[in-house]
């Protein structure tokens, strides 16, 4: 094994962050989980208020996701919704979303998507419905749980163009991360992908590279986003990125010729195949290294 590969391997063994994707994933992983393991769930892009051909019943599919999560034998430590809870930021949409998400057994954390902060009233309605009192600035926050440092970033919203973190938030993030040791596992949430998926469709964060630069010194950093209604994974050095499925409707693959970022009507009978949520289990594994003498 080349030395570069070797280092990469150790980094990921030490990181111990195991993604389990799919509908039954958490059941399988929870059954074999060590007692001190830690898990959470990510759901995204529920678009409550949308009623087009791509999914005439977005409330029903969100309720199905919630019921499935509630049925997990080991409940996650929290469920994070990574934005676009609503479609048009209307009060009735926030009310509907609250009534469904309010039935989650696990604690709920949300961050807004651009559909949650439309118009002058959108940000106020979002804050009234889902705002977190521990958040700073326009809603960003961080916390420590299960040996992990979690960061929830806001890259949509009032005073900013979509896909921008802004200098105030970047300064906060720099200070927040500076206080963490490099071997602390970091998990970052945001709505719009921090890495560039497809800028022509608004699937990027224009100053995301500044946040990514701050994450480079950590031996394990994971960035989990929503916004694009499909799973796209990306690795940059020791940083892993993954976007999530929606609970509402699918969207086209990035760079699809003639396509766009809007709702995509799935083939009949396939809607539930392309919707979903993500379970994440974190296990602090013992890492070992084997050394040959030619590297001594």
Binding of other proteins at residue 200 (CB under 8 A)?
Answer: yes
- Count of residues touching other proteins (by CB under 8 A): 28
| 38 or 126: CB nearest other proteins | 126
Q: Is 45 in the site for other proteins (CB under 8 A)?
A: no
Determine which residue in the list 162, 223, 271, 280 makes contact with other proteins, applying CB under 8 A: 162
| Cβ proximity of 49 and 86 under 8 Å | yes
Residue number with CB closer to other proteins (49 or 208): 49
Report in angstroms how near the CB of residue 161 gets to other proteins at its nearest: 5
Stretch that binds other proteins, among 36-44, 52-60, 215-223, 240-248 (CB under 8 A): 52-60
Least separation in angstroms between residue 231's CB and other proteins is 21
Binding other proteins (rule: CB under 8 A), the pick from 59, 81, 115, 240 is 115
- Please write down the HEC assignment for all residues of the chain: CCHHHHHHHHHHHHHCEEEEECCCHHHHHHHCCCCCCEEEEEECCCCECECCCCCCCHHHHHHHHHHHHHCCCCCCCCEEECCCCECCCCHHHHHHHHHHHCCCCCCEEECCCHHHCCCCCHHHHHHHHHCCCCCECCCEEEEEECCEEEEECCCCCCCCCCCCCCHHHHHHHHHHHHCCCCCCCEEEEECCCCCCCEHHHCECCCCHHHHHHHHCCCCCEEEEECCCCCCCEEEECCEEEEECCCCCCCECCCCCCCCCCCECCCCCCCHHHHCCCEEEEECCCCCCCCCCHHHC
The answer to whether 163 contacts other proteins (rule: CB under 8 A) is yes
Hey, which residues between 73 and 102 contact other proteins (CB under 8 A)? 87-90
Q: And the tokens for 275?
A: 């919707």
Identified binder of other proteins from the candidate list 8, 131, 261, 266, rule CB under 8 A: 261
52 contacts other proteins (rule: CB under 8 A): yes
Strands 278-282 vs 38-43: parallel, antiparallel or unpaired: antiparallel
On the CB side of 86, CA atoms within 13 Å amount to 24
> Would you count residue 252 as binding other proteins (CB under 8 A)?
no
Is the Cβ of residue 73 or residue 258 nearer to other proteins in the bound state?
Answer: 258
Stretch that binds other proteins, among 112-120, 137-145, 213-221, 282-290 (CB under 8 A): 112-120
Contact flag: residue 49 with other proteins (CB under 8 A): yes
Q: How far apart are CB 60 and other proteins at their closest, in Å?
A: 18
**Is residue 56 at the binding interface for other proteins, with CB under 8 A as the rule?**
no
Site membership for other proteins, residue 120 (CB under 8 A): yes
Minimum gap (Å) between residue 141 Cβ and other proteins: 23
Residues of this chain that interact with other proteins (CB under 8 A) are 49-54, 87-90, 114-115, 118-122, 161-163, 199-202, 260-263
């Amino acid at each position: 094994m080349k030395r570069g590969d070797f280092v990469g391997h150790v980094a990921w063994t030490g990181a111990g962050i195991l993604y389990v994707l799919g509908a039954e994933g958490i059941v399988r992983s929870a059954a074999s989980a060590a007692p001190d393991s830690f898990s959470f769930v990510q759901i995204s892009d529920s678009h409550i208020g949308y009623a087009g051909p791509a999914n005439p019943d977005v409330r029903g599919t969100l309720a199905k996701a919630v019921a499935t999560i509630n049925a997990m034998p080991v409940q996650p430590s929290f469920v994070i919704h990574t934005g676009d809870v609503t479609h048009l930021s209307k009060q009735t949409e926030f009310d509907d979303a609250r009534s469904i998400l309010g039935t989650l057994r696990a604690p709920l954390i949300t961050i807004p998507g651009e559909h949650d902060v439309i118009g002058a009233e959108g940000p106020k309605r979002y804050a009234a419905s889902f705002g977190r009192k521990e958040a700073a600035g326009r809603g960003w926050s961080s916390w420590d749980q299960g040996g992990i440092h979690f960061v929830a970033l806001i890259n949509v919203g009032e005073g900013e163009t979509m896909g921008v973190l802004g200098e105030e938030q970047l300064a906060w993030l720099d200070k927040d991360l500076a206080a963490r040791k490099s071997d602390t596992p970091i998990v970052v949430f945001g709505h719009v992908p921090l890495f560039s998926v497809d800028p022509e469709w608004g699937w990027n964060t224009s100053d995301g590279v500044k946040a990514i630069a701050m994450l480079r010194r950590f031996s394990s950093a994971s960035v989990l986003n929503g916004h694009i209604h499909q799973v796209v994974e990306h690795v940059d050095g020791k940083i892993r990125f993954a976007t999530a499925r929606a609970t509402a409707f699918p969207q086209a693959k990035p760079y699809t010729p003639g396509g766009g970022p809007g709702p995509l009507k799935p083939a009949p009978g396939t809607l539930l195949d392309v919707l979903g949520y993500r379970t994440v289990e974190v296990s602090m594994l013992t890492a070992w290294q084997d050394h040959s003498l030619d590297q001594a």
